[in-house]
């Protein structure tokens, strides 16, 4: 497989050096693998820290900045960061108002963030946590106990980040983050496998004429494989799978997320079909975001995430944000 890299062993470090050069508003510690907004710690503000394996960009480093995360910890490709990274990040952003850890539900992430929380508290940092587990496709997958954390991570980081930017206290920021997660559901579809730099070949076998319904962001299997379907058929299956699990009474935020190798031409066409299904099901849409936000290296495919919102959550979603991967209102 052709890749725009030097050697597999330095992929993450090379990317972090490039990120530092492109975004001087961030402090990128390449050696210790921590990305911090340059003005941290902000007096009186709750710090937000997240992280996970690399390969899902712009998640999480691309969401560090005003209105979202205070810091992010990138691990190796598809590998959890280690507790030392998380403790270093928490110390860098703690203003005395506490730090919220936003953790996707993958076994390594959960264990390492739990250990980091204990270590940070030993250093006098108040820590709260929220677990993101929005994927309705399967339970107890290759990487998880329970449901996987996927696209809703963006909604949690944006809305909790806006609340923290307003100076809301740690308990309230945590409660909002949990509310967003509880109100969110996701479903992903793969049209091709992804390729990790270390392996250099597809991580799983997906024949050309088939697709995986309910795939995870590391290529974990979903509900079933089928012969290739049209965009309309995929939207019907994906949105109906979500709505079988949630029954929104309020308008929803919609994320149509590319997995890394699907062009916007296709994603916008897929969004049209997603909107059609929601209209047919009587679900009002408050806002829609289309693009590559929670990726899986070079996987072709897409995921759909819905989040039911009230007026306060929508206000926080609309609040200004300025990060490498998401920005408006500033």
- pLDDT tens string for the chain (330 positions)? 899 999 999 999 999 999 999 999 999 999 999 999 999 999 999 999 999 999 999 999 999 999 999 999 999 999 999 999 999 999 999 999 999 999 999 999 999 999 999 999 999 999 999 999 999 998 877 777 889 999 999 999 999 999 999 999 999 999 999 999 999 999 999 999 999 999 999 988 899 999 999 999 999 988 999 999 999 999 999 999 999 999 999 999 999 999 999 999 999 999 999 999 999 999 999 999 999 999 999 999 999 999 999 999 999 999 999 999 999 997
208 exposure class (CB count in 10 Å sphere: 0-12, 13-18, 19+): exposed
Helix, strand, coil percent values for the chain (each to nearest 5) = 35, 25, 40
20 exposure class (CB count in 10 Å sphere: 0-12, 13-18, 19+): middle
**Count of beta carbons in the 10 Å neighbourhood of residue 22:** 11
What kind and span of H or E run contains 162?
Answer: helix 152-165
pTM, two decimals, is 0.97
Site of tokens 């609309």: 318
124 exposure class (CB count in 10 Å sphere: 0-12, 13-18, 19+): exposed
- What distance in Å separates the CA atoms of residue 258 and residue 36, rounded to the nearest whole number? 26
Sign of CA dihedral 168, 169, 172, 178: positive
**Collapsed DSSP state (helix, strand, coil) of residue 256:** strand
Give the catalytic positions in this structure.
56, 218
Q: Is 100 in contact with 129 (CB distance < 8 Å)?
A: yes
């Amino acid at each position: 497989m052709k890749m725009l890299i030097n050697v597999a062993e330095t992929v993450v470090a090379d990317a972090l050096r490039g990120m530092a050069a492109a975004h001087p508003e961030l402090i990128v510690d390449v050696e210790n693998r921590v990305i911090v907004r340059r003005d941290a710690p902000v007096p009186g503000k709750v710090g937000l820290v997240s992280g996970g394996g690399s390969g899902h960009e712009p998640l999480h480093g691309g969401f560090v900045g005003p209105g979202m995360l205070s810091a992010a910890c990138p691990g190796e490709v598809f590998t959890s960061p280690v507790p030392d990274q998380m403790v270093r990040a928490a110390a860098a952003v703690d203003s005395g108002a506490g730090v919220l850890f936003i953790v996707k539900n993958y076994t390594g992430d959960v264990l390492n963030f739990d250990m980091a929380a204990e270590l940070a508290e030993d250093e006098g940092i108040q820590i709260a946590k929220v677990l993101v587990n929005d994927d309705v496709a399967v339970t107890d997958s290759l990487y998880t106990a329970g449901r996987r954390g996927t696209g809703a991570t963006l909604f949690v980081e944006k809305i909790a980040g806006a609340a923290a930017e307003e100076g809301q206290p740690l308990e309230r920021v945590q409660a909002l983050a949990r509310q967003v997660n509880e109100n969110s559901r996701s479903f992903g579809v793969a049209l091709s496998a992804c390729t990790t730099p270390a392996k250099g070949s597809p991580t799983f076998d997906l024949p050309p004429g088939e697709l995986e319904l309910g795939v995870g962001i590391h290529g974990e299997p979903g509900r079933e494989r089928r012969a290739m379907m049209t965009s309309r058929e995929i939207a019907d299956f994906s949105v109906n799978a979500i709505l079988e699990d949630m029954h929104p009474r309020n308008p929803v935020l919609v994320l149509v997320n590319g997995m890394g190798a699907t062009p916007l031409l296709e994603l916008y066409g897929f969004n049209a079909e997603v909107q059609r299904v929601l209209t047919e099901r009587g679900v009002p849409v408050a806002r829609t975001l289309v693009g590559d936000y929670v990726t899986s290296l070079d996987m072709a495919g897409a995921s759909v995430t819905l989040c039911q919102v009230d007026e306060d959550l929508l206000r926080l979603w609309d609040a200004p944000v300025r990060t490498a991967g998401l920005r408006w209102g500033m």
